[in-house]
Amino acid sequence: MYENGVRALQRHDYQGAATQFRTIIERYPEERELQERSHLYLRVCERETARQPPTPQTPQERVYAATVALNAGDTATALDHLRRALGDAPDSDHAHYIMSVALASKGDAAQALEHLRQAISLNPETRALARQDPDLEAVRNVDGFRDLLDNSSGNARGKARKRR
């Protein structure tokens, strides 16, 4: 049981290891050395478990986790969270917008613009945010970026001219 707990600890399975060490503590109170080591490892497991943030479950939690990962410079984790969020909520303008930011930071301008286009089509107010967002600086000079941001105003002007 002790060896199973140590192996679980080495695999970073802190909850599984903690279960093993708690069982040892309960079943073998007379084994002083085993108790001491089990208590020590149990504290390590509890400390590590407390450090780990909960796994995001909802699309909104995944977008938030992606934003935190992006701010920490972990684009790969951010993209993973965003793909899952969009899998569950393909009409989330916020998820598409953050995906465009993540892809822009990765240098994937074509996909960044596609997600930005989707975000704007789902929520036209996103256009104003994109105009000023420094996180989109990497795609600001890419063909199509300006057209994407000016698209609705141009369409509105064109419709107004046709009506006259």
| pLDDT one-digit tens code per residue, 35-76 | 999 999 999 998 887 776 678 889 999 999 999 889 888 899
Same domain, 65 and 9: no
Same domain, 73 and 36: no
Same domain, 38 and 100: no
Cα–Cα dist 81/147, whole Å:
29
For the question of whether the overall pTM of this predicted structure is more than 0.85, the answer is no
Closest CA to 22 of 8, 47, 41, 9: 41
Same domain, 31 and 109: no
Least confident of 52-56, 58-62, 121-125, 152-156: 152-156
Return the structure tokens found at 15.
């909850």
Domain that holds residue 159: 59-163
What string of H, E and C letters represents the secondary structure of 2-52?
A: HHHHHHHHHCCCHHHHHHHHHHHHHHCCCCHHHHHHHHHHHHHHHHHHHHC
Please give the tally of structural domains in the chain.
Answer: 2
Q: What is the mean pLDDT of the chain?
A: 87
Same domain, 101 and 74: yes
- Among 29, 51, 73, identify where a domain stops: 51
- Among 28, 51, 74, identify where a domain stops: 51
CB-CB neighbours of 79 under 10 Å: 20
Range 19-35 average pLDDT: 94
Same domain, 100 and 149: yes
Range 104-122 average pLDDT: 94
Provide the CATH number for the domain around residue 142.
1.25.40.10
Same domain, 71 and 111: yes
Q: Which own/partner pairs from 118-124 qualify as long-range (CB within 8 Å, at least 24 positions apart)? A: 118/93, 119/93, 119/94, 120/93, 120/148, 120/151, 120/152, 122/91, 122/92, 122/93, 122/96, 123/93, 124/152
Cβ within 8 Å of residue 104, ≥6 positions away: 112, 135, 136, 137, 138, 139
Give the pLDDT score at 52. Answer: 64
Same domain, 42 and 111: no
Same domain, 150 and 69: yes
Instruction: Give the model's confidence band at 154: pLDDT under 50 very low, under 70 low, under 90 confident, else very high.
Output: very low
3-state helix, strand, coil in the chain (%, to 5): 80, 0, 20
**In this structure, are residues 9 and 41 in contact, taking their beta carbons and an 8 Å threshold?**
yes
Same domain, 96 and 127: yes
